[in-house]
């Protein structure tokens, strides 16, 4: 890593404290206090890495592809116990203690390389392919942290994580548009007669029709992934139920607001997350 790149990775907006502070703005609790400390700290370290990658891909100054390459090099150092960035140093003992695989981390970085080229998503299938890079690896790593990763569970987790990513894209249409990206499938926008001007107007009926379609799909993914909760026990069960509940509560909030993302009621409430979480815990497979 050159000195310039090393310095860029130490920029204030990529600092450990600022990155971790963003956890409060998620649709779900990243590391709920109900979980034992031995799980909370690894989950926060995992979140820190994922957010760092996103911040580089979304907001870093300079050559973002070069910065992502530098981060990938530091990730390899983390697997050897030699990381330089504070968030990678925080992740290093988690990698060792839970024998985390390298490949899901690499996919998260690749998703942000895709973001540097992406200007438009053509179809629902292409959006799911993007989610396989940008979201699904996090769920797989979470299962590894709880020593609960099996092929069947990872497949169920992929559905939950893809749904959470879709919901986030629905909430952040204007923000993504400002970065020159559109994650709402072009084929759905065409069907709804949703043009570029509509994307910048959260009250646009055409945009709201597109969002309604995506939220319907997100609900279906959450329902398909909900059996994962019943397959888990202890802290893993509580954590995954909480993540899925956050997605369901966000879907409810958007629907309640008529898919107008500018409305205050378009954001999930803590009460709604708790209600959905309890239902998932006590009904198992039914989302």
Indicate if 229 and 169 belong to the same structural domain. yes
Of 64, 85, 117, the last residue of a domain is 117
CA pair distance 127, 93, nearest whole angstrom: 33
CATH of the domain at 20: 1.10.600.10
Helices 234-256 and 205-225 pack at an angle, to 10 degrees, of: 160
For 5-57, what is each residue's pLDDT tens digit?
455 556 655 556 566 666 556 666 667 778 889 999 999 999 999 999 998 98
Q: What is the pLDDT of residue 287?
A: 47
Both 123 and 104 in one domain: the answer is: no
Q: What is the pLDDT along the chain (287 residues), one digit of tens a residue?
A: 454 445 555 665 555 656 666 655 666 666 777 888 999 999 999 999 999 999 898 888 889 999 999 999 999 999 999 998 889 999 999 999 999 999 999 999 999 999 998 889 999 999 999 999 999 999 999 999 999 999 999 999 999 999 999 999 999 999 999 999 999 999 999 999 999 999 999 999 999 999 999 999 999 999 999 999 999 999 999 999 999 999 999 999 999 999 999 887 777 788 888 899 999 998 755 44
User: Phi, psi (5° rounding) for residue 114?
Assistant: -60, -40
Report whether 287 contacts 248 (CB < 8 A). yes
Q: How far apart are CA 277 and CA 246, in angstroms?
A: 8
- Cα separations (Å) of 82 from 4, 186, 200? 19, 43, 44
For residues 49 and 141, membership in a common domain is answered with no
> How high is the pLDDT of residue 99?
97
Q: How many residues does the chain have?
A: 287
Q: Do residue 134 and residue 57 come from a single domain?
A: no
Regarding whether 190 and 100 lie in a shared domain, the answer is no
Kindly state whether residues 163 and 283 are assigned to the same domain: yes
Give the domain range for residue 26. 1-117
Whether residue 273 sits in one domain with residue 188: yes
Specify whether 38 is located in the same domain as 61: yes
Helix (H, G, I), strand (E, B) or coil at 83: coil
How many domains, in total, are found in the chain?
A: 2
Q: Which residue has the tokens 């249409």?
A: 173
| pLDDT tens track for 135-155 | 999 999 999 999 999 999 999
Residues 125, 264, single domain; the answer is yes
């Amino acid at each position: 890593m050159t000195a310039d790149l090393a310095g860029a990775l130490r920029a204030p907006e990529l600092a450990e404290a600022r990155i971790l502070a963003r956890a409060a703005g998620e649709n779900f609790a990243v590391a709920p206090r109900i979980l034992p400390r031995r799980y909370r700290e690894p989950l926060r370290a995992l979140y820190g890495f994922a957010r760092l990658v996103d911040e580089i891909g979304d907001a870093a100054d300079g050559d973002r592809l070069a910065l992502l390459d530098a981060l990938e090099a530091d990730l390899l150092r983390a697997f050897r116990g030699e990381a330089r960035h504070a968030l990678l140093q925080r992740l290093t003992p988690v990698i060792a203690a839970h024998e985390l695989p390298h490949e899901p981390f690499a996919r998260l970085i690749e998703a942000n390389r895709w973001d540097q080229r992406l200007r438009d998503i053509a179809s629902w299938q292409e959006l799911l392919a993007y989610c396989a890079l940008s979201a699904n690896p996090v769920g797989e790593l979470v299962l590894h942290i709880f020593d609960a990763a099996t092929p069947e569970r990872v497949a169920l987790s992929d559905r939950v994580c893809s749904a959470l990513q879709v919901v986030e894209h629905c909430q952040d249409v204007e923000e993504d548009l400002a970065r020159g990206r559109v994650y709402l499938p072009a084929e759905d926008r065409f069907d709804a007669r949703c043009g570029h001007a509509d994307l910048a107007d959260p009250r646009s009926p055409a945009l709201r029709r597109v969002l309604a379609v995506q939220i319907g799909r997100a609900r279906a993914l959450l329902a398909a992934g909900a059996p994962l909760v019943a397959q888990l026990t202890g802290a893993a069960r509580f954590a995954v139920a909480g993540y899925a509940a956050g997605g369901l509560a966000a879907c409810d909030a958007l629907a309640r607001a008529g898919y107008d993302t500018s409305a205050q009621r378009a954001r999930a409430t803590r009460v709604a997350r708790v209600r959905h979480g309890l239902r998932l815990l006590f009904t198992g497979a039914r989302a």
